Amino acid sequence: MSPAESRVHRLLAELRRHGVGDARVLAAIGRVPRHHFIAPPFLDQAYENVALPIGRGQTVSQPMVVGLMTQALAVGERMKVLEIGTGSGYQAAVLAPLCRRLYSVERHRPLLSEAEARLRHLRIHNVTCRLGDGSRGWPEQAPFDRIIVTAAAPDVPPALLEQLKPDGLMVLPLGDVGGIDQELVLIAKTPEGLDIRPFLAVRFVPLVEGLPEE
């Protein structure tokens, strides 16, 4: 086993210990070369279970959080998925082999350009990205079987609920946008209403409406 393979193996073992047990999710994480999504000063930590800065005040989530969010979504290979917050593109690269089509919205143009370049380099062709206000979703492509939000909001954005299919699932961090008292929640849209289940304490950057001046 090469040193690189050994680092991936150790990371996957750690994710299993933290509750990521879905074989498809673990295989997807194992195939994604995370070092492609990490800024040069942090490459030595690419396969550590830590969040790392990617610029514009954003981060690439720690692999454990990526794994648990992806696992909670229960994505099927025929599903259409919406991601809010493309960031580095790492979460999109993990989701891509699990679904039919992924649509991803990012509000920072430089991050979006870099993420698209990484996905092209890795020949991931079922992901479409665009610049936009994530709180508004992507209405032209709605409805979605699954929605994943990688920024924290005090409440579920109404537009995203509208764009989620009946019986669809959404995963997002809810709570204090200052980074304290946030929880990942799994939301199931049922005929009886919303079933909201918290499953992990987290700290995400805030979901911000509108586009920055860049």
Q: Half-sphere exposure (CA, 13 Å, Cβ side) for 108?
A: 17
Q: Is residue 125 part of a domain?
A: yes
pLDDT for res 156? 92
Distance, CA of 131 to CA of 80 (rounded, Å): 19
Report the number of distinct structural domains present in the chain.
1
Asked if 153 and 204 count as a contact pair (C-beta separation under 8 A), the reply is no
pLDDT of residue 120: 97
Q: Among positive and negative, which fits the CA dihedral 190, 103, 127, 121?
A: negative
What is the structure's pLDDT at 99?
Answer: 98
- Is residue 208 assigned to a domain? no
Asked if residue 211 is part of any domain, the answer here is no
Q: Which of 61, 88, 104, 135 is catalytic?
A: 61
Predicted pLDDT at 109: 94
Q: What is the CATH number of the domain that holds 41?
A: 3.40.50.150
* Total-model pTM: 0.94
Quote the pLDDT of residue 95: 98
* Residue 210 placed within a domain: no
| Residue 195 placed within a domain | yes
Averaged over successive runs of 10 residues, the pLDDT of the chain (214 residues) comes to: 85 96 97 94 93 83 95 97 96 98 96 96 97 96 97 92 97 81 93 90 83 70
Active site residue 113: no
Is 51 inside a domain boundary?
yes
Q: Which domain holds residue 169?
A: 3-202
**In a domain? residue 150:** yes
Per-residue pLDDT, 46 = 92
Question: Count of CB atoms within 10 A of residue 11's CB?
Answer: 21
Peptide bond into 143 cis (omega under 30): yes
Domain annotation covers residue 177: yes
User: What pLDDT does 208 receive?
Assistant: 82
